Amino acid sequence: MTLDLLIQQLVNGLIVGSFYALIALGYSMVFGVIKLLNFAHGDIYMNGAFVGLIVFSFVGIWVGNGWLGVVCALLVSMLAVGLLGVIIERFAYRPMRNAPRLSILITALGASMVLNGTALALTGGRHYAFNTDLGFAGVDISTVHITYTQMVLVAASIALMAGMQAFVSRTMYGKAMRAVSIDMGASRLMGIDVDRVIALTFFMGSALAAGGGVMAGAYYGSVHFFMGFIMGLKAFTAAVIGGIGSVPGAMLGGLLLGLLEAFGSSLPFVGSEWRDVFVFGTLILFLVFKPTGLLGRSVVERV
Amino acid sequence: MIDEVRTMPTAVQPQLMRWSVVLPGLAALAAALVLPQFANGYVTEVATTALLYVVLCLGLNIVVGYAGLLDLGYAAFFAVGAYTSGILTAEFGFNFWLTIPVAMAAACVAGIIIGAPTLRLRSDYLAIVTLGFGEIVRIIARNLDITGGASGLIGIERPEIFGFRLMQVQHFYYAFLVLALLTAFVCLSVERSRMGRAWFYVRYDEDAAAGIGINRVTAKLQAYMMGAVIASVAGCLYAAKMTAISPESFTFNQSLLILLGVVLGGIGRIPGVVLGAVLVALLPEVLRGAGTYRPLVTAVALLAIMLFRPNGLWPDKRV
């Protein structure tokens, strides 16, 4: 592997990794608070990309296809899809909160399928172009060209995640979130409005996924109803690698998985068509040897 | 493990000889036996698909209904069976019947690779890992040469039995009917076996089950592998019927349809699962004009059942 290829894959890995990290974070937060793997999370990411594209197309009429448009799309999509997350929690997950584990999981799956099926029905399964005009200016390291867009993208995801970490560790609501994740019943007795905290967690997790969706859509230039499926799986893998339930773990896991994937698929005997198999193999290995992940605590089945 | 699990809560004790189940069951069986004599090719074709789904749903029901594990990649084992049998007959000239034990062994190995690491962990992990597994099997089938790549495998041998070659839809209809009855018989016996009782305990309360000496990981793995084996046998027969298989027959949607069949009729109960399987097989025929709205209809059906009728359309009245 030459130095150029190394740098190129490092850049690719960091970008993909920051998308994974943003989505893994939502998985992890929701899991931490209600101990449920939110299957719909990948579809929320997809919905975020679509809402972003719609906003972008409307706003583009006035502000053009540049940075301002992308930022507008990002903010509106995060807000709207965050609310969508709250609605899903209210109507699909809350009624099931005391149901048997299997019913909760199937309901979560159903919610995911409804989002996905709606997107398919509305778009007819077409790919939509997300044509941005962000320019290709940037810096050259050796022969590798790194655009400012790529740098801003990674920086923006890190900023979002850092904001999230600050929220969870510094604010009153963050404290309530952590309390609920440790003991829901006791939190209620201490006067915490548990329903509200859960709704807030869904809002923030979904908003992050939507942010990831808009950025990924704008970066790759294409949006598709099925884009959330594999993304959800990989974000889950990232969350497991970092340690599910842990906020810094999700970031670490996401970036690590992005790098692993970038370098793994450039190995001569792996090849890009085996990329997903490679990621899945990593997941299985982690589950065998380090199921708690790199930064997580022990995983105990809810009784 | 203790010697015997003596008493069961009545709610989980399988009761078989109830007229409300036996009579419709016999009637359905009689109707199934004579159906191809009266029906045209189209109806027989749909009925054959329905029987295929009965087998698959009964198999998945062991995993989901009996052991309470969510498997989202069940079609992968169906694919393992179909491809194993297809490759062995088409590429290596094996006799169809000899490929069945090989396919069963392959499904067992795949079941252990996926099940052994994940079943020790939270049940959610299994759900998402099986989801990934379903995709991976499809990707592998698309990228290998021996599986025929994206265009699939063609020229799979039609099976022969006592010098009679299964050719027409009717022949495969009866073959699938036999397989469905065999599967139902296996499910009935396993339900009442020691293993089946262990599954019921694990499903109702894992910790209590561990407390009375049931090894819960072993119990779950047994259920998972038994489901895998049933799907692989169904896959063998499916490959023989189609004579050509491609990765697109084994998508995530296929797994979802099978799961919907289990959930729709009534999780854990053989009559309910059979009903659900038949409904799922009819779904594409009913929704023929729906086009891209089809997955949404499936999804809404699943969600509505879980939220408003969690015990299915034909629930157990005793519970």
In the DSSP assignment, the letter for residue B158 is: P
* pLDDT number for residue A86: 96
* pLDDT number for residue A268: 65
- Find the residue in A nearest to B131 (Cα): A233
CB contact under 8 Å between A280 and B133, yes or no, is yes
- Rounded to whole angstroms, how far apart are CA atoms B139 and B181? 33
Q: Compute chain A's Rg from CA coordinates.
A: 19
Q: How far apart are the first and last CA of chain A?
A: 50
Is A274 within the bounds of a domain? yes
Residue A114 has which token pair?
Answer: 């409804």
Q: Does A272 touch chain B (CB under 8 A)?
A: no
How would DSSP label each residue in A10-62? Answer: HHHHHHHHHHHHHHHHHHHHHHHHH----TTHHHHHHHHHHHHHHHHHHHHHH
Mean pLDDT of the B147-165 span: 80
Residue A221 DSSP SS3: coil
Judged on CB neighbours under 10 Å (0-12, 13-18, 19+), A97 is middle
Phi, psi angles (nearest 5°) of residue B164: -105, 125
Residue B161 DSSP SS3: strand
- Return the percentage of chain A with pLDDT > 90, whole number: 41
When pLDDT is cut at 50, 70 and 90, the band that residue B29 belongs to is: confident
* pLDDT number for residue B252: 86
Start-end of H helices in B144-193: 169-192
- Residues B221 and B160 sit within 8 Å (Cβ to Cβ): no
Least confident stretch, A208-217, B91-100, B280-289: B280-289
Angle of helix A41-63 relative to helix A67-88, nearest 10 degrees, comes to: 140
Residue-wise pLDDT for A130-187, tens only, equals 888 877 788 887 778 888 888 888 999 999 889 988 998 899 999 999 999 888 999 9
Which residues are registered as beta bridge partners of A138?
A147
CA atoms within 13 A on the CB side of B167: 3
Residue-wise pLDDT for A54-73, tens only, equals 999 998 888 877 888 899 99
* pLDDT number for residue A84: 96
Domain count, chain A: 1
* pLDDT number for residue A199: 95
Residue B84 has which token pair?
Answer: 């194993």
Judged on CB neighbours under 10 Å (0-12, 13-18, 19+), B213 is exposed
* pLDDT number for residue B112: 92
Is A296 within the bounds of a domain? no
Is A135 within the bounds of a domain? no
Phi-psi region of A271 (alpha: psi -120 to 50; beta: other; left: phi over 0): left
- Rounded to whole angstroms, how far apart are CA atoms B37 and B39? 6
The whole domain housing A254 covers: 3-122+146-289
- Residues B262 and B64 sit within 8 Å (Cβ to Cβ): yes
Is A134 within the bounds of a domain? no
> Which pTM value belongs to this model?
0.86
Is A131 within the bounds of a domain? no
| CB atoms near residue A236 (< 10 Å) | 30
Residue B140 has which token pair?
Answer: 């592998």
Residue-wise pLDDT for B246-263, tens only, equals 888 888 888 988 998 998
What residues of chain B, 75 to 104, have a C-beta less than 8 Å from chain A?
none
User: Alpha carbon of A41 to those of A109, A121, A234, A302: distances in Å?
Assistant: 10, 19, 11, 21
Least confident stretch, A147-151, A176-180, A246-250, B17-21: B17-21
Q: Does B311 touch chain A (CB under 8 A)?
A: no
When pLDDT is cut at 50, 70 and 90, the band that residue B105 belongs to is: very high
Start-end of H helices in B193-293: 194-204, 206-211, 216-242, 252-265, 270-286
Mean pLDDT of the B137-162 span: 83
CA nearest neighbour of B193 among B224, B222, B231, B228: B222
- Residues B278 and B28 sit within 8 Å (Cβ to Cβ): no
Residue B222 has which token pair?
Answer: 């047994």
- Residues A9 and A262 sit within 8 Å (Cβ to Cβ): yes
**Residues in A touching B203 (Cβ below 8 Å):** 102
- Rounded to whole angstroms, how far apart are CA atoms A13 and A188? 42
Is A78 within the bounds of a domain? yes
CA nearest neighbour of A70 among A251, A231, A232, A221: A221
pLDDT: which is higher, A29 or B34: A29
Q: Does B150 touch chain A (CB under 8 A)?
A: no
* pLDDT number for residue B143: 86
**Between A and B, how many CB-CB pairs are < 8 A?**
124
**Residues in B touching A116 (Cβ below 8 Å):** 295, 299
Residue in A100, A113, A240 closest to B302 by CB: A113
Phi, psi angles (nearest 5°) of residue B161: -135, 125
- Rounded to whole angstroms, how far apart are CA atoms B179 and B32? 13
* pLDDT number for residue A77: 96
Mean pLDDT of the A43-50 span: 95
Is A275 within the bounds of a domain? yes
User: Alpha carbon of A225 to those of A37, A47, A117, B174: distances in Å?
Assistant: 21, 8, 9, 40
Q: Which residues contact B27 (CB under 8 A, 6 or more apart)?
A: none
Q: Does B313 touch chain A (CB under 8 A)?
A: no
* pLDDT number for residue B53: 95
Dihedral (CA of B275, B130, A89, A71) sign: negative
Mean pLDDT of the A277-293 span: 83
Least confident stretch, A25-34, B101-110, B285-294, B309-318: B309-318
When pLDDT is cut at 50, 70 and 90, the band that residue B319 belongs to is: very low
Nearest CA distance, A134 vs chain B (angstrom): 34
- Rounded to whole angstroms, how far apart are CA atoms B38 and A250? 60
pLDDT at residue A223 greater than cutoff 80: yes
When pLDDT is cut at 50, 70 and 90, the band that residue A105 belongs to is: confident
> What is the pairing mode between strands A128-129 and A222-223?
antiparallel
pLDDT at residue A294 greater than cutoff 50: yes
* pLDDT number for residue B123: 75
- Rounded to whole angstroms, how far apart are CA atoms B217 and B268? 20
Which residues are registered as beta bridge partners of B160?
B165
Report the mean per-residue pLDDT for chain A: 87
* pLDDT number for residue A258: 92
* pLDDT number for residue B12: 47
CA B263 to chain centre: 12
CA nearest neighbour of B299 among A120, A225, A38, A114: A114
> What is the pairing mode between strands A144-147 and A138-141?
antiparallel
Report the mean per-residue pLDDT for chain B: 85
pLDDT: which is higher, B185 or B40: B185
CB contact under 8 Å between A299 and B122, yes or no, is yes
CB contact under 8 Å between A283 and B296, yes or no, is no
Q: Does A290 touch chain B (CB under 8 A)?
A: no
In the DSSP assignment, the letter for residue B72 is: S
Is A44 within the bounds of a domain? yes
Residue B120 DSSP SS3: coil
Nearest CA distance, A234 vs chain B (angstrom): 9
- Say whether the ipTM exceeds 0.90: no
Residue A217 DSSP SS3: helix
Angle of helix B123-143 relative to helix A101-123, nearest 10 degrees, comes to: 40
Mean pLDDT of the A15-19 span: 92
Domain boundaries, chain B: 10-250
Q: Tokens 């829901």 appear where?
A: A184
Residue-wise pLDDT for A226-241, tens only, equals 899 889 889 989 998 9
pLDDT at residue B10 greater than cutoff 70: no
- Return the percentage of chain B with pLDDT > 90, whole number: 30
Q: What is the CATH number of the domain that holds A100?
A: 1.10.3470
